[in-house]
């Protein structure tokens, strides 16, 4: 059973520390065959993932599929398709049997009036009076697995009508499943949560997203969220996805380095309850010679197939982040940018609950810290190759200067007594 830690920064599972490491598989219930699901669970488990994020209803930008899994009979939201939910339930049983937790999105924004997506896709909006039947079915199908219910998906809150949908869903579901944890998945580069919805939430998501024009988003959004909504665990639930095209039809794709950087700067900024990985080709479950919906919203470039995407190396990097924190017995992190003397916020400094300092250096340079490290041992980890070097440094007037490290790309400096 998942609960909130006493420190209000992290999660517990059966009273033990739980670092939320999720993979994004929004289209699982509509696009994945049983054999594909078996392989997917196997691979993500060995990579260290412990949570899967899934959209309960069909994802608006899922890739085309020959499968016919529809939640409503004849697309009528008043007629629940029991077979759809029974199949989804069986998929959840398999995931739970492999040790995964589930983060299930209840209402993606295209199903709710007044959101950025429903303004494009008006024929997908659910009538308000069908919510009781739908939420009841969600509870009957999934609550036995004690999932984390993600009330909203990629949403903004521009109208009172929009907010009323999400408050209705949260209030109804929380009454039916009070032991589950609740959060929202808000749109990229967005930090606002309405007060009457916030009251139902146990922990918070933000998404730094896929816009390449401002690379500060993983940490700047975290800082804003912590200032505005203190005392709830925080997770970047949608950093940039590996090999996904930049948003807004901008030319370029996110690399392994990009997605790794997003993870480390998010967690070291204080969003330390966990992190979510995503891969182009996985979230939409793309297959060779099938079309990809890119006509709406962010306008992403075509993905590679799910088979190719399962081999992307960034997933192993995310598993390593979780393993490294566990091996160092780090259960929470507090951002300590006040210790950084370099004129940048892209280098991130954090202090762990056990007194260890972590410094993430995305690009090779000397690092100056307002910290006397003479009583500490310093090691530099090459995050791409997992090589470890003893860190060369000098102390001047109580401050520490870390020499340029011997590796090619980003590193994590571990400072411990």
The whole-number average pLDDT for the span 211-227 is 97
Contact between residue 270 and residue 223 where contact means Cβ atoms under 8 Å apart: yes
- What integer pLDDT is reported at residue 298 of this predicted model? 62
The verdict on 224 and 364 lying in the same domain is no
The predicted-structure confidence for 333-390, as pLDDT tens digits, reads as follows: 999 999 999 999 999 999 999 999 999 999 999 999 999 999 999 999 999 999 999 9
Least confident piece of the model among 24-38, 116-130, 268-282:
116-130
The verdict on 213 and 341 lying in the same domain is no
The verdict on 138 and 8 lying in the same domain is yes
The verdict on 291 and 239 lying in the same domain is yes
The verdict on 261 and 368 lying in the same domain is no
CB neighbourhood size of 175 (10 A): 10
Please give the share of the chain, as a percent, with pLDDT higher than 70.
99
The pLDDT confidence band at residue 300, using thresholds 50, 70 and 90, is: confident
CB neighbourhood size of 90 (10 A): 12
The predicted-structure confidence for 143-196, as pLDDT tens digits, reads as follows: 999 999 999 999 999 999 999 999 999 999 999 999 999 999 999 999 999 999
Maximal C-alpha separation, the chain: 74
* Bridge partners (DSSP) listed for residue 381: 388, 412
**Tokens 């949560």 sit on residue:** 193
Please tell me what DSSP assigns to residue 68. -
Task: Give residue 145's domain range.
Answer: 2-327
The verdict on 358 and 265 lying in the same domain is no
CATH (domain of 33): 3.20.20.80
The verdict on 178 and 270 lying in the same domain is yes
- What integer pLDDT is reported at residue 217 of this predicted model? 98
CATH (domain of 362): 2.60.40.1180
The verdict on 398 and 252 lying in the same domain is no
Six-digit token string for 143: 């609550």
Q: Is 295's pLDDT higher than 90?
A: no
| Mean pLDDT for all residues in the chain | 96
The verdict on 169 and 258 lying in the same domain is yes
The pLDDT confidence band at residue 292, using thresholds 50, 70 and 90, is: confident
The verdict on 138 and 242 lying in the same domain is yes
- What integer pLDDT is reported at residue 293 of this predicted model? 75
The pLDDT confidence band at residue 297, using thresholds 50, 70 and 90, is: low
- What integer pLDDT is reported at residue 294 of this predicted model? 61
Contact partners, residue 152, CB within 8 Å, separation at least 6 = 105, 106, 107, 108, 109, 112, 166, 184, 185, 186, 197
The verdict on 356 and 320 lying in the same domain is no
- What integer pLDDT is reported at residue 122 of this predicted model? 86
Helix, strand, coil percent content, the chain, rounded in steps of 5: 30, 25, 45
Residue ranges of E strands in 171-258? 181-183, 204-206, 234-236
Contact partners, residue 172, CB within 8 Å, separation at least 6 = 131, 132, 135, 136
User: With the C-alpha atoms ordered 121, 124, 127, 131, is the resulting torsion angle positive or negative?
Assistant: negative
Count the domains in the chain.
Answer: 2
């Amino acid at each position: 059973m998942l609960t909130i830690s006493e420190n209000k920064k992290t999660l517990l599972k059966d009273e033990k520390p739980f670092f939320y490491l999720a993979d994004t598989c929004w289209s699982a219930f509509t696009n994945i065959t049983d054999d594909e699901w078996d392989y997917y669970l196997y691979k993500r488990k060995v990579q260290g993932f412990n949570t899967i994020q899934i959209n309960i209803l069909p994802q608006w930008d899922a890739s085309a599929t020959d499968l016919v899994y529809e939640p409503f009979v004849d697309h009528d939201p008043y007629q629940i398709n029991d077979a759809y939910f029974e199949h989804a339930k069986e998929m959840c049983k398999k995931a739970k049997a492999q040790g995964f937790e589930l983060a299930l999105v209840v209402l993606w924004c295209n199903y709710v009036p007044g959101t950025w997506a429903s303004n494009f896709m008006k024929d997908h909006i659910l009538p308000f009076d069908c919510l009781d039947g739908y939420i009841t079915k969600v509870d009957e199908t999934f609550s036995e697995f004690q999932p984390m219910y993600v009330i909203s998906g990629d949403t903004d809150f521009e109208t009172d009508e929009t907010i009323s949908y999400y408050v209705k869903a949260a209030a109804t579901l929380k009454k039916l499943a009070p032991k589950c944890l609740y959060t929202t998945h808000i749109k990229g580069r967005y930090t606002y949560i309405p007060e009457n919805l916030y009251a139902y939430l146990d922990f918070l998501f933000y998404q730094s997203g896929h816009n390449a024009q401002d690379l500060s988003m993983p940490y700047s959004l975290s800082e804003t969220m912590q200032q505005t909504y203190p005392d709830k665990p925080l997770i970047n639930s949608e950093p940039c996805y590996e090999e996904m095209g930049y948003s807004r039809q901008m030319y370029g794709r996110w690399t392994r380095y990009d997605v790794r950087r997003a993870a480390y700067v998010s967690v070291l900024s204080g969003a330390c309850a966990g992190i979510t990985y995503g891969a182009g080709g996985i979230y939409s479950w793309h297959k060779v010679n099938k079309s990809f919906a890119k006509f709406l919203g962010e306008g992403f470039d075509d993905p590679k197939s799910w088979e190719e995407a399962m081999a992307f190396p960034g997933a192993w990097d995310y598993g390593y982040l979780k393993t490294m924190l566990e091996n160092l017995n780090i259960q929470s992190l507090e951002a300590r940018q006040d210790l950084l003397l370099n004129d940048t916020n892209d280098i991130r400094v954090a202090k762990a609950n056990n007194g260890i300092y972590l410094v993430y250096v995305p690009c090779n340079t000397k690092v100056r810290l307002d910290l006397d490290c003479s009583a500490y041992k310093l090691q530099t980890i090459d995050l791409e190759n997992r090589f470890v070097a003893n860190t060369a440094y000098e102390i001047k007037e109580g401050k520490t200067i870390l020499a340029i490290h011997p590796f090619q790309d980003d590193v994590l400096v571990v400072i411990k007594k």
